[in-house]
């Protein structure tokens, strides 16, 4: 957890930064510390989790406003995680103590609390991220009880007004100079009591159910992309609105390509004769096409060649990124007798001008030794 580290400091942003700046900073840090790029590094893994937690808070206007005002204390009541439920819990405590003294908000009946938001982690391939896909997921959630339609009361009966709080959902107690307001212990803040509960849900208005949901994944999604399914989270108690389901996407490692934003990277080994004489290289793209990469004569290891528009599509936009191929010159390890003879003949004709970098290197060594 990062409860003592400032979220803005983690993302290397000013407190006045706009949403786009915060998102850009997060993406750079997430790429830098991603576990796939730092295999086995515990520090990088911890950093990756920390920047995700910070961004999860600051990208949400309500959570960010709470954090700016109260810091990490705004989220500690619900267990220390910066989630929507924790913010609600903090707000309720703040109102229960000071409700009578702030804008007259302490005297009304408590509002129904919506159900909890849920998280679902989905792993997809780079090809699926390129083309997009429609799929189905199965989740176990608390859903509205069909028997009582979420009311919690046995069919044919209704809940009655709680006599303890007179339907307000709150009770007050004097503590010194303060009047402290708390949720009614009899009706648990609902303002109503169910005398004859529903036999299917026991009066809660919710039952556990397995749901199959359709999910449309757009082309161009990246690691950490979040898809929201409104109203598909936990059902609220006794007819309260349901929360949302958030699907977080994770990319499987690809055998050929690595990705950075919309740019695809690939390493291509070539023979030393192709490097010397030049040629072409055929790279199969994620778009199903074969991309021809022209190799200039005399290319060196590490040189990068770019194919415009052959990378990942822009999420919810137009165009695509680039394909970048890094050349790795491979020295032959097995030579036939004829090949060795030809290379010996070539070596006899060398003047040193063929490889100016190596000639310059040895000249520097000779000068250094002489000095």
Per the annotation, binding residues for Zn(2+) are 145, 148, 162, 165, 184, 187, 198, 201
Give the span between the Cα atoms of 62 and 70, in whole angstroms.
12
Instruction: Give per-residue burial for 96-122: e unless 16+ CB within 10 Å, then b.
Output: bbebbeeeeebeebbebbbbbbbebee
C-alpha distances out from residue 44 to 13, 165, 304, Å: 19, 53, 27
How many CB atoms are located within 10 Å of the residue 255 CB? 6
Give the span between the Cα atoms of 94 and 106, in whole angstroms.
11
**What sign results for the dihedral spanned by CA atoms 137, 34, 25, 257?**
negative
DSSP 8-class letter at 320: B
Distance of CA 100 to the CA centre of its chain: 41
DSSP 8-class letter at 281: E
Per DSSP, the chain holds a count of helices (H) and strands (E) of 9, 15
Q: Please check whether residue 54 is in contact with residue 63, taking contact to mean a CB–CB distance below 8 angstroms.
A: no
Written as six digits, the tokens of 261 are 């934003």
Apex 195 CA angle, 191 and 201, nearest 5: 90
Known binding-site residue numbers: 145, 148, 162, 165, 184, 187, 198, 201
């Amino acid at each position: 957890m990062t409860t003592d580290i400032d979220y803005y400091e983690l993302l290397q942003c000013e407190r006045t930064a706009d949403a786009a700046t915060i998102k850009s900073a997060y993406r750079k840090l997430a790429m830098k510390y991603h576990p796939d790029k730092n295999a086995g590094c515990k520090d990088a893994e911890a950093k990756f989790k920390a920047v995700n937690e910070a961004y999860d808070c600051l990208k949400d206007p309500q959570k960010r406003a709470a954090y700016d005002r109260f810091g990490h204390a705004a989220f500690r009541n619900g267990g220390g995680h910066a989630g929507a439920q924790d913010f609600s819990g903090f707000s309720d405590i703040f109102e229960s103590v000071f409700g009578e003294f702030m804008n007259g908000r302490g005297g009304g009946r408590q509002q129904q609390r919506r159900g909890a938001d849920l998280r679902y982690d989905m792993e997809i391939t780079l090809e699926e991220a390129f083309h997009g896909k429609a799929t189905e997921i199965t989740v176990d959630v608390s859903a509205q009880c069909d028997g009582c339609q979420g009311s919690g009361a046995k069919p044919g009966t209704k809940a009655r007004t709680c006599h303890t709080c007179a339907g307000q959902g709150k009770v007050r107690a004097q503590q010194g100079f303060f009047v402290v307001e708390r949720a009614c212990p009899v009706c648990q803040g609902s303002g109503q009591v169910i005398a004859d509960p529903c036999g299917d849900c026991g009066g809660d208005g919710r039952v556990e159910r397995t749901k199959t949901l359709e999910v449309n994944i757009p082309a161009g999604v990246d690691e950490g992309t979040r898809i929201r399914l409104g109203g598909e989270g936990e059902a609220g108690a006794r007819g309260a609105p349901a929360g949302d389901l958030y699907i977080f996407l994770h990319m499987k490692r690809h055998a050929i390509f690595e990705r950075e934003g919309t740019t695809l990277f690939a390493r291509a080994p070539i023979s030393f004769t192709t490097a010397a004489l030049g040629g072409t290289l055929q790279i199969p793209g994620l778009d199903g096409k074969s991309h021809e990469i022209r190799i200039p004569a005399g290319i060196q290891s590490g040189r990068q060649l770019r194919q415009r528009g052959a990378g990942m599509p822009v999420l919810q936009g137009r165009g695509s990124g680039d394909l970048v191929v890094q050349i790795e010159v491979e020295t032959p390890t097995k030579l036939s007798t004829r090949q060795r003879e030809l290379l010996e003949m070539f070596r006899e004709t060398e003047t040193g001008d063929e490889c100016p970098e190596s000639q310059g290197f040895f000249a520097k060594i000779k000068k250094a030794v002489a000095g």
